[in-house]
Amino acid sequence: MTDYDVVVIGAGIHGAGAAQAAAAKGLSVLVIERREAAGVETSRASSKLIHGGLRYLETFQVRLVYECLREQRNLLRNAPHLVRRSDFYIPVYRQSQRSAWWVYLGLCCYQLLAGGALRDIERVPESRWGSLGLQEQDLTAVFRYSDAQTDDQALTRAVLESAVSLGAEVRFNVAPARIEYIENYTLTFPDGSAVRCRALVNAAGPWANEVAALGGLPQQDLDWVQGTHIVLRQPAFSGCFYVEAPQDGRAVFVLPWRGLTMVGTTEVVLTQPKASPTQEEINYLLAVYNHYFPKSQCNAGDIEEVFAGVRVLPKDQRQANKRSRETLYATANAGTYIGIYGGKLTSYRATADKVLRMLTPVLRDSMRGNTSTETIALP
């Protein structure tokens, strides 16, 4: 039986990040992924934004926004080939739920949290509105600010590659059948083989409770919320648009993606962690797009791709878009087990840092390196 300091279950962004942080500390690490490659589940179905989350300021998630904006700066420095700055436009209409001054106030707070200058927020002059392609009827203001975009799957794979270059091992197409804890963890696979480890990180994303159940480990009370995107065969606009869905006032993005136009996302509470976009979601997103971009109307025949991912959110009576986006952790067995729930692509490194800090008391004697992932350039 092979022994490791840490086994990480799941090769999404959180598993890759935790493996990178652990390997950077000189720990022996094994990542187990049941699929054929890294980043093939939630971490390829996001809105692909590396952002603080402007709208989280409305629910006072200031710490989260600040942390994400700090991680955005790190990623722009460490992975400029994977994360790039983009112009974001927010149009305000006579009927918008958020007034121009409210949007401007939010942007000022956002910019200050990002450590940027207020002069980087622009109130776009009316003479340029026409070039943006937006619906101009009842338009009262357009603001421009800067945020960042990535390729989420490529980012996840780069973080895992970095972990491997630091010594982590990865096994694809395997999933444990049983987890036992008696001083150490023993993970037994369906073929009868097993691995042993001192600490276990459960980074199975929407399936983290299923993995926890294999070893009687603590589970979280959560909701699975599906978010769908559509990619339209419509040449990408030169910027990103942050609009209010006319149907319900929710924030929806219209973004350039591989030369085409991506629109998302929705929020549908599921009973199982299984993403499956519905016709209703597709119609909703098409209607949002056509409402704001009447000069380049699209219909179902213009859809190139539809994809959906599952968010893990704390169980709550509130609407999904009002709930906390903070990462949640479950711990057990004197701090040797950590389950990661929810969180953001943007803040994966901060999450991994927290996981490593939690594991330090039990793995200190095996920690040899002291490299901070904050400065590691991604391949």
Ligand X SMILES: Cc1cc2nc3c(=O)[nH]c(=O)nc-3n(C[C@H](O)[C@H](O)[C@H](O)COP(=O)(O)OP(=O)(O)OC[C@H]3O[C@@H](n4cnc5c(N)ncnc54)[C@H](O)[C@@H]3O)c2cc1C
Which parts of this chain interact with ligand X (CB under 6 A)? 9-15, 32-35, 40-43, 45-49, 175, 203-207, 211, 227, 265, 309-311, 340, 343-346
| CB of residue 364 to ligand X, shortest distance in Å | 26
How many CA within 13 A on the CB side of residue 277? Answer: 20
Query: Terminus-to-terminus CA distance in the chain, angstroms?
Result: 32
CA 239 from centre of chain: 20
Looking at beta carbons, which residue is closest to ligand X? Answer: 12
Give the nearer residue to ligand X in terms of CB position, either 200 or 211: 211
Give the nearer residue to ligand X in terms of CB position, either 69 or 345: 345
| CB of residue 295 to ligand X, shortest distance in Å | 27
| CB of residue 53 to ligand X, shortest distance in Å | 8
Torsion of CA 364, 368, 374, 378, to 10 degrees: -130
| CB of residue 99 to ligand X, shortest distance in Å | 25
Give the nearer residue to ligand X in terms of CB position, either 135 or 226: 226
| CB of residue 288 to ligand X, shortest distance in Å | 15
Distances (CA, A) of 269 to 41, 184, 220, 231, 329: 18, 37, 16, 22, 21
Give the nearer residue to ligand X in terms of CB position, either 49 or 141: 49
Give the nearer residue to ligand X in terms of CB position, either 91 or 277: 277
Determine contact, residues 152/163, Cβ cutoff 8 Å.
no
Give the nearer residue to ligand X in terms of CB position, either 133 or 205: 205
| CB of residue 136 to ligand X, shortest distance in Å | 28
